[in-house]
Structure 1
Amino acid sequence: MDIAFTEYDRGRTFLLLHGGAGPASMTGFAGLLAERTRSRVLVPTHPGFAGTVRPGTLASTRDLAAAYVEWLDRLDLSRVTVVGNSFGGWLAAEIALLAGPRVTGAVIVNGVGIEVDGHPIARVAGLAPAELRKLSFHDVTKAPAGPGPGPDVEALIAYAGPAMADPTLLDRLGALDLPVHVIWGESDGIVDVGYGKAYAAAIPGSTFTVLPESGHLPQVETPADLLEVIAGPGRA
């Protein structure tokens, strides 16, 4: 399967996986990450997003993860760190579970996909743009201008389902055997910090970091803070 992507080539490889906000939510951060780490940064567009076609064979998050693993094999990439936000965080976890030694690290940023008692995922389908921005941002003035979600919501629901969760994922995360960093915006109104703590607790040896004054999209709202956590201060 062909997957459209943008590449920032600097050496080692980061695979940045967008969520429902689409690939544009990752492009600015990709440039920062490539510059700071001097790494190769790939920013794919999930089939069905941004006007691309979603094949009927891609009907779940695990289907999409398997397609990405096949794509990594075809590109013969190794030592890949997968970084995913929101739905992309769930996808990053699924890829890490499937990929074997090609993937050597994962970063889950305000991910969805698990079910946590007392910490429900906000229902975003049908929300007005202003309501969605309020849930997604600590400071709504940092939200990109635009009308809000469009047809991409259909692709998101096709992969993630209306509940945006897989009841088996929480238990399956225990099989991850690689460095995983779970990062959460403190003001996330879609999946709160308690949900993030449960995500990290399910992954053996994971690290959990909370970003203050940041919401569901730290790579958009507080990219410098997210970069410091992923790349480290002053790292070349």
Structure 2
Amino acid sequence: MAAAQAGGPQLDRRFIWRGREIAWTAFGSGPPLVFCHGTPWSSWLWAPYARALSTEFTVHLWDMPGYGASSKAPEHDVDLGTQGLAFAALLDHWALDSPHVVAHDYGGAVSLRAHLLHGRPYASLCLVDVVALRPWGSPYFSLVAEHADTFGRLPAPVHLGALEAYVAGASHRGLRPEETAALVDPWRDTAGQAAFYRQIAQADERFTAELEPLLGEITVPTHVVWGEEDTWIPADRADRLAAALGGTSVTLVPDAGHLIQLDAPVALATELHRWLTRVEAAR
């Protein structure tokens, strides 16, 4: 299991679910707030935002099974269907009463599945550059899906070079060396390398296809935030998603790519605080 990422929170608690260890932590005071990360990321991306909001909310951070500090056993599925079930079970374990949820990338589909398919209630939902509508996935995804075993056996330096290049493509402004190091750290060792290609191999649009007809049924306050320069999931999806949700609000963040947390931290932090305080005050 990977150690905690440099500069990130210590996920000092474990929830055992179907043989998996899900690493998590919680801190702060106030209404519950849960952050959901995406792929190939971890809770490290959300850590600064969680710390900033912990003066007003009790924040929960977790790494999906197969990611970050959570277990990466090769026999365990890590597809979006599994992750949605895992999140629903984790919410039950935490015994939260309708938390606010902020989700990025895959975390969007995971949180939507837990809400729409598994009946977990939310106080609000903020969807940040999320996987929710087809099509998604890149040519690289397709190539890896067809040859996951081969990619899993790449020499470590070749794997690391490909991984760093892939991660760098998610940022608009460019990553600092310490950011790149933190993002790739969970995938560097032998278990991490295999897990990295396994999660791509199990990506399947059917898990979002199941959600698309249900998006209009969401009644909790929902907000969409997107980086205008996102090349992984282009910004036109923001308006498409908002329309599918019944016309919810949208904020486009300039000079930000898919890694909006790193590209535009001040703008994103301001937007999240504005949104969360507004919906909490309206409860």
TM-score range normalised by the length of the shorter chain: 0.7 to 0.9
List per-residue Cα deviations over 1:168-193 (Å, max 9, x = no partner): 33222122221111110011110001
Say yes or no: does 1:14 pair with 2:33.
yes
Of structures 1 and 2, the one scoring higher in RCO (CA 8 A, sep 6+) is: 1
Match of 1:203 in 2: 245
Instruction: Tell me how far apart the structure 2 counterparts of residues 31 and 155 of structure 1 sit (CA, whole Å).
Output: 31
Superimposed CA distance per residue, residues 182-219 of structure 1 (whole angstroms, 9 cap, x where no aligned partner): 11001111000112221221112421110111111222
Q: Which amino acid aligns with 2:116?
A: L
Are residues 1:32 and 2:52 paired?
A: yes
1:133-170 Cα distance to aligned partner (Å, 9 max, x none):
1x311200457132864335235336533x69633332
Instruction: Within 5 Å, give how 1:1-236 maps onto structure 2.
Output: 1=17, 2-20=21-39, 21-35=41-55, 38-54=56-72, 58-98=77-117, 100=119, 102-116=121-135, 121-125=137-141, 129-133=164-168, 135-142=169-176, 144-146=179-181, 149=184, 150=187, 151=193, 152-154=195-197, 156-157=199-200, 160-161=203-204, 166-232=208-274
Query: What SS does the corresponding residue of 1:89 show, helix, strand or coil?
Result: helix
Query: 1:86 and 1:164 mapped to 2: Cα distance?
Result: 16
Note if contact 1:180-1:205 (Cα within 8 Å) is conserved in structure 2.
no
Normalised by the length of structure 1, the TM-score is 0.83
Shift, 1:112, TM fit? 1.2
Q: CA deviation at 1:59?
A: 4.7
Relative to structure 1, the CA distance from residue 77 to residue 222 in structure 2 (aligned partners, 3 Å threshold; closer, same or farther) is same
Pick closer, same or farther for the CA change 1:101–1:50 going to 2, 3 Å. Answer: closer
The 1:164–1:122 alpha-carbon spacing in structure 2 relative to 1, beyond 3 Å, is farther
User: In the alignment, is the contact (CA less than 8 A) between 2:22 and 2:71 conserved in 1?
Assistant: no
What letter corresponds to residue 94 of structure 1 in structure 2? R
CA gap of 1:164–1:54, structure 2 versus 1, over 3 A, is farther
| Deviation readout 1:84-135 (Å, 9 max, x if unpaired) | 111112212222214546312111110014215xxx54345465523541x3
Higher Rg of the two aligned structures: 2
| Structure 1, gaps ≥5 residues long | none
Secondary structure at the aligned position of 2:223 is classed as strand
SS for the counterpart of 1:145 is helix
Distance 2:112 2:93 in 1: 20
Equivalent residue for 2:12? none
C-alpha contact (below 8 Å) 1:78/1:101 kept by paired residues: no
Gaps of 5+ in 2: 1-16, 145-161, 188-192, 279-283
The question of whether the paired residues in 2 share the 8 Å contact of 1:85 and 1:217 is answered with no
The 3-state SS of whatever aligns with 2:26 is: strand
Give the aligned residue type for 1:122: S
Question: Are the counterparts in 2 of residues 92 and 107 from structure 1 also a CA contact under 8 Å?
Answer: no
CA contact (8 A) 2:37 2:63 kept: yes
Shift in Å, 1:225: 1.0
Q: What amino acid is aligned across from residue 100 of structure 2 in structure 1?
A: T
Q: Which has the higher helix share?
A: 2
User: Normalising by the residue count of structure 2, what TM-score does the alignment of the two structures yield?
Assistant: 0.70
Using a 3 Å threshold, how does the CA distance of structure 1 residues 128 and 215 change in structure 2: closer, same or farther?
Answer: same
Question: Relative to 1, partners in 2 of residues 1:69 and 1:154: Cα closer, same or farther, differing over 3 Å?
Answer: same
